[in-house]
Copies of this chain bind each other. A is one copy, B any other.
């Protein structure tokens, strides 16, 4: 089935382009799989994503293999990709200076750090505090910028925390402000456990704005745990956000947060954006084929509804 070619009325919906998709499946997605995926399969996933028209692809993470064994092959993946794995459109996660050193040694020029808006998750994920993570990130961001790299800051648990419950928007904004003050070029606001709703999205964006962080600096990162990810992403776009994180085939989640199931599926986002006349540059049928292939490698069905619908036998 093809998506109907209805002329969209952007003025009527408030939704207008362009939107940049920040593809997280290769890193955020695969790091949460139980299966250990071979480095060559990871590299092939990135190659296929590039071929499907995704411009910005987070490739891997230079986290300690003791923390996330799934990512112990970061060097190998980058090396297998060659030039295709480098450049400003191929960020990698560098949680600390050791990770940054490893990334820079390979010629990486785009990095991301991953912080928490809440104390409990800073403890669970980084064995640190909110202050402690800022102290850890400061030299990473400074040295990355000195090396000419582009830097993204992820902020997780911005809409709720499985241990703390509610997370006040003012708190989110003040931790976000500290990340921006460190010098990050882009701030990705994450609903790590997927509990947010569109009104909440607007409140968070307002709180960020009140701290001087405009939508031009903000990306959004929603999980579909409660089925809200697409509606929340569209709400953010409606309010001016122009970078949306998503994961091919809905790969991923968070192993340290209960009930944190998959990311927003890139295919479901692309379906919506195309229907709204918002250009993404993505070839949906190639992307669906990629996610169907990846699901086969993982031995399970894709979490993306578009992938399931379009890869059914005709």
Contacts and interface: CB of A to CB of B under 8 A. Distances in A.
A228 B272 contact: yes
Number of copies: 2
Nearest to A2: B165
Interface in A181-196: 193-196
A240 interface: no
Contact of A227 (B13, B197, B200, B265): B265
B198 A15 contact: yes
A262 to B, nearest CB: 9
Contact of A196 (B9, B162, B258, B275): B275
Interface of A: 1-10, 12-15, 159-160, 162, 165-167, 169, 193-200, 202-203, 206, 224-228, 230-231, 234-235, 239, 258-259, 261, 265, 268, 271-272, 274-277, 304-306, 308-309, 312
Contacts of A203: 6-9
Contacts of A228: 230, 268, 271-272, 275
B197 A275 contact: yes
A199 B12 contact: yes
Contacts of A277: 199
B276 A198 contact: yes
B162 A198 contact: no
A162 B224 CA distance: 27
A258 B309 CA distance: 9
B13 A159 contact: no
B309 A202 contact: no
